[in-house]
Amino acid sequence: DIVMTQSPDSLAVSLGERATINCKSSQSVLYSSNNKNYLAWYQQKPGQPPKLLIYWASTRESGVPDRFSGSGSGTDFTLTISSLQAEDVAVYYCQQYYSTPKDFGPGTRVDIK
Report, in Å, the least distance between residue 43 CB and other proteins: 11
- Considering beta carbons, is residue 82 or 104 the nearer one to other proteins? 104
Of 44 and 82, nearer to other proteins (C-beta) is: 44
Of the candidates 71, 80, 82, the residue with the CA atom closest to the CA atom of residue 39: 71
- Residues engaged in binding other proteins (CB under 8 A): 1, 38, 40, 42, 44, 49-52, 55, 61, 91, 93, 95, 97, 100-107
The beta-strand segments (E) located in the chain are: 4-7, 10-13, 19-25, 30-31, 36-37, 39-44, 51-55, 59-60, 68-73, 76-81, 90-96, 108-112
Least distance to other proteins, CB of residue 9, Å: 11
